[in-house]
Amino acid sequence: ENKYRIKDFLTRIKDKIDIIDGIQYKRVTIKTNHKGVLLRNITDGSDIGTKKQFKIKKGNFILSKIDARNGAFGIIPDELDDAIITGNFWTYEVDQNIVNIDLFLYLTNSFKFIDICKKASTGSTHRKYLSEDKFLNQIISIPEKEKQIEIVKIIKECKKLQDQIENNRNHGKQLMQAVLNEAFEN
């Protein structure tokens, strides 16, 4: 395993755009607790107050500087390519020569990564913001490329098992309800 500063594999992207009235823009929301990067809405430039924004690209990493400590980050999905964000969101290109993008996404869902974001957040209790410099200078261990691929395969198998267990649990609940319904229908 090699130790890297986060800035060694994340490069900030600042693709500035001036918002123009009469043009439709896709806007983004990032759910906390690692629940994804989603379309907030599509709206006309005349309805957007902040006229200086940033364009994002699919496949890049995005985070909310306000809610990163609460797991508000993810990989930008294809359908949000060229969407816009304010300065409260930061996007980064991931150097896949250092870290596999799938493994990086799994890593961001770990307690370790949340802890990194908490340590790099400053401010009062209700207004903590991620300090980019503190965040990017955090050190993290990253396995060799071959090991990363192996880890991703194992994680995907674990996720399949989790899904099967959840499906079985739901099926068991439905079956139990059917038995109870039949038992008390007479």
Indicate the range of 76-85, 101-110, 152-161 predicted with least confidence.
Answer: 101-110
Residue whose structure tokens are 């999905």: 77
Q: Would you state the pLDDT for residue 125?
A: 65
- As to burial, measured by CB atoms within 10 angstroms (0-12 exposed, 13-18 middle, 19+ buried), residue 99 is buried
Res. 149: pLDDT tops 90: yes
DSSP-assigned beta bridge partners for residue 41: 27
Predicted TM-score of the model (pTM): 0.82
Max CA separation in the chain (angstroms): 69
Residue whose structure tokens are 């300065």: 87
More confident: 109 or 3: 3
- The residue among 122, 130, 171, 128 whose CA lies nearest residue 12 is 130
Res. 124: pLDDT tops 80: no
